[in-house]
Structure 1
Amino acid sequence: MKWEDHHTHVEIALPADFSFQECLRFLGRSDQELVYTINEGHLYKLLKIDTAFILCDITHKENVLHVQFSNEVPTFAVKQEVVSFISEWLDLDRDLTAFYHLASQDEILHKLVVRYQGLRMIRIPDLFEALTWAIIGQQVNLTFAYKLKKRLTEMYGEHRTFRDKRYWLFPDPASIAELTVDELRGLQLSRRKAEYIIYVAALIRDGQLTKAELGKRMYDSVKKSLVAIRGIGNWTADYVLMKCLGRSEAFPIADVGLHNAIKVQLGLHEKPALKQIEMMATKWEGWQAYATFYLWRSLYDEQV
């Protein structure tokens, strides 16, 4: 990723197929979100790199992302980490040419890639946040999942205040690993989910589960390791492979939202069977994650 250092801000070069506005529309789908803030075209994200708290004010200017450091000017090394995080978060390093070509000829996707041209996969770079969010979202609606995430962040996440506004970090696994199940149940998490989250937090804290190690392995090996963990089934593993590890072939085929989106796009009277979806997805080979993501995006139009 090419970028330039301008002392109090950095500028990140953007790929050809990128729309900041489309990314903001997806990011802004819930007013319960705390780990980033959107205000009048500005995307604010608090990062903790080593011991430094860096508040990033991200805007789009011509062909670059302009990242202003609002609270303090970080070192060059920290700036590199910031650029790396944002590039991963907004999936800036991926060439979407092949996906757009494939999608333009697909019965389901061709309208979506025109409607949401430039939308990038909004990823979750932190492994603990990705796993926790996936566990929280199991078998509950998205609105309630966001409420649970907000409660967890406010109770156990760190924050910094800038110009009378609080900016939050998702809780650290080390802090969550020390909690009791009853403490998490106080947030209205089920007992099972509380157990799963604490267990995953301990695995990450103790170095038994790392993003770096997972990233070195073949897809099937990673998925097998993830589903072996208590509380992580196929859907959760596929979600984490897609949103955290950036595997474009990840396909959460059992996702209810995916089923509903396909139903709407094809004008069906009922949700398609898994076998039907498998057949449709043969045309999405290598890009199942992006196909899924664009279909998820279409659901928010239906809710407006």
Structure 2
Amino acid sequence: MRSWKESKNCIFIKAPEPFNFKVNVDYFLRDPNECMYEIEENTITRVIEINHLRTLIQISEAGSDYLAVECLAGTKPESFEDKETIVNYICEWFDFDTDLLPFYEMGRRDLLLQPVIERFYGLRIMGLNDLFEALCWGILGQQINLKFAYTLKRQFVEKFGEHLDYNGKNYWIFPLYEKISKLTAEDMADIKMTKRKREYIIGVAKLMANGDLSKENLLHVDDLKQAEKELIRIRGIGPWTANYVLMRCLRYPDAFPIDDVGLINAIQFVKGMERKPTKAEIRELSAAWSTWEAYATFYLWRMLY
């Protein structure tokens, strides 16, 4: 049961233990080109869509136990159901429903993970609640560095997304799949991604617009391997992108993008290796991570970015 209360203009959401708001905000600050939210003085501001109504929210820490959520620009919902939907969105975004203590118990016995956990204690896998956004981000990030991926994302969002204006700033809404499904690759030609990636994104949008692909259906799949197979059937989605989406959107704790360059580089960095670890070595190192592969990967990523 998600615990929250309301006072004046704020909703207060009880944070689970362990949780460190500052450590999670630091993750959001990875790249200054992020366009889906703004961070100022440990406060997150972004637009979320609640029951087809767009709400501009500002999230800050209220003591050590609560997140304070304020609705700005006259977008505060009135009904209990809509307020609860905001709470549920934020709890999913911050992965509040996962009990991290078993992960930490395992990680403290793991020579590779132990120093990483100590450094980022209280970090949660910050999610991508929207399936279309998660798939687009996975496609955009294929075979390029993170900085360029953020550049492409900003170009895509600012060309095809919508925004709310508040205090002279634009707060962006990720492009809707309904809109993207009607485009051609040529409509996206001024975004500096490959034509193939443009086709992949439009293809995903068409599947979602036709009802052939949805987050709800994927969440009802029996297990990780079956969900991975469903995603890999989609043109442009390979094992890496599928596991990325399984981690950050569908919340499979055992999703594992084992071939990820960032994971490989992070293991090399933490272990002080002169060469990159082989896939066989990664399998051996990760043997004890069973059911926690996603969190182990996410924490290791944080050692680099």
**TM-score normalized by structure 2?**
0.97
Superposed counterparts of 1:1-304, under 5 Å: 1-6=2-7, 8-62=9-63, 63-72=65-74, 73-75=76-78, 76-217=80-221, 218-300=223-305
In structure 1, give the amino acid aligned to 2:173. Answer: L
* Aligned amino acid, residue 20 of structure 2: S
| Backbone CA RMSD of aligned residues | 0.9
Letter in 2 for 1:198: I
Identical residues among aligned pairs (%):
40
Aligned partner letter, 2:236: G
Structure 2 portions without partners, runs of 5+:
none
Query: For residues 144 and 17 of structure 1, what CA distance do their matches in structure 2 show?
Result: 33
Query: Alpha-carbon deviation of 1:9?
Result: 1.5
Deviations 1:24-73 (A, max 9, x none): 10011111111111011110110122332201110011110000011222
Give the distance between the partners of 1:51 and 1:109, measured in 2 at CA.
Answer: 41
CA distance in 1 between partners of 2:101 and 2:42 (Å): 27
Shift of 1:7: 5.0
Q: 2: distance between equivalents of 1:30 and 1:95?
A: 28
Counterpart residue identity of residue 292, structure 2: W
The CA deviation at 1:168 is: 0.6
Amino acid of the structure 2 residue aligned with 1:30: D
- Whole-Å Cα distance in 1 between the matches of residues 53 and 227 of structure 2? 32
In structure 2, what residue type is equivalent to 1:271? K
Cα distance in 1, alignment partners of residues 95 and 179 from structure 2: 29
Shift of 1:5: 2.4
Residues in 2 aligned to 1:51 and 1:225: alpha-carbon distance in whole angstroms: 28
AA of the residue aligned to 1:170: F
Number of corresponding residues = 300
1:147-188 residue CA offsets vs partner (Å, 9 max, x unmatched)? 000001101111001111111111110111111101212111
